[in-house]
Amino acid sequence: MVVGTSSSMLGRAFLLLVLSSATEVHGGPSSSAAPCSLLDYICIRLGPWYVLPNVCVSTLCIDPSCRSAPGLPELAMMATRLTVSNATVTKASIQHALAHAKDGKARKVMRSCLQLYTGAVPRLQWAARSVAAGRYSGVPEVLEAAYEHVASECTDLAGKVALPKENDEFYMMAYVAKAVVEWVQLFG
């Protein structure tokens, strides 16, 4: 209990530091009217993960409540949940593409790719439950596998066969979610 309290106070102190340094960077008169949500601040901080702030914001803001996350745990939770629903939709659109595939090569690609998503969805659901319970261990790895070994793998498998656009979109979502969750795990 004592440990929990002091670590959450440390987290708060760190967050204040982040907020005040971000305010310094963006505190010019021209930007004083810009929205200053927690999401914006965290997205500015993801440079070392090679995520541009505007890409980070636009990826997570397909959820209209993106800017009202009250804290880092909620932000990590939102990113992970969005990755689950994104994977589910992508899986469905590959299923649809498989049902409508004209030739054997396309069917083969869609079938293999579908298998990758079918395996990934339960792992991502596990990740979302973990983050909701405040456990981050193993979660960045699951998210990384989702873009490295699912979305990216599908692209490689496809070659010249056109995949549903959701596959590339899912890559981006999993990539941003991994950066956010890892950031929260390290600094939250």
Ligand X SMILES: *[C@@H]1O[C@H](CO)[C@@H](O)[C@H](O)[C@H]1NC(C)=O
Q: Which residues form the interface with ligand X (CB under 6 A)?
A: 59, 62, 85-86, 89, 169-170, 172-173
Report in angstroms how near the CB of residue 181 gets to ligand X at its nearest: 15
Give the nearer residue to ligand X in terms of CB position, either 17 or 63. 63
Give the nearer residue to ligand X in terms of CB position, either 50 or 104. 50
Q: Torsion angle, CA of 11/14/18/21, rounded to 10 degrees?
A: 160
The residue written with tokens 């298998």 in the block is: 115
Give the nearer residue to ligand X in terms of CB position, either 88 or 185. 88
Report in angstroms how near the CB of residue 107 gets to ligand X at its nearest: 23
Report in angstroms how near the CB of residue 10 gets to ligand X at its nearest: 32
Report in angstroms how near the CB of residue 185 gets to ligand X at its nearest: 21
Give the nearer residue to ligand X in terms of CB position, either 166 or 182. 166
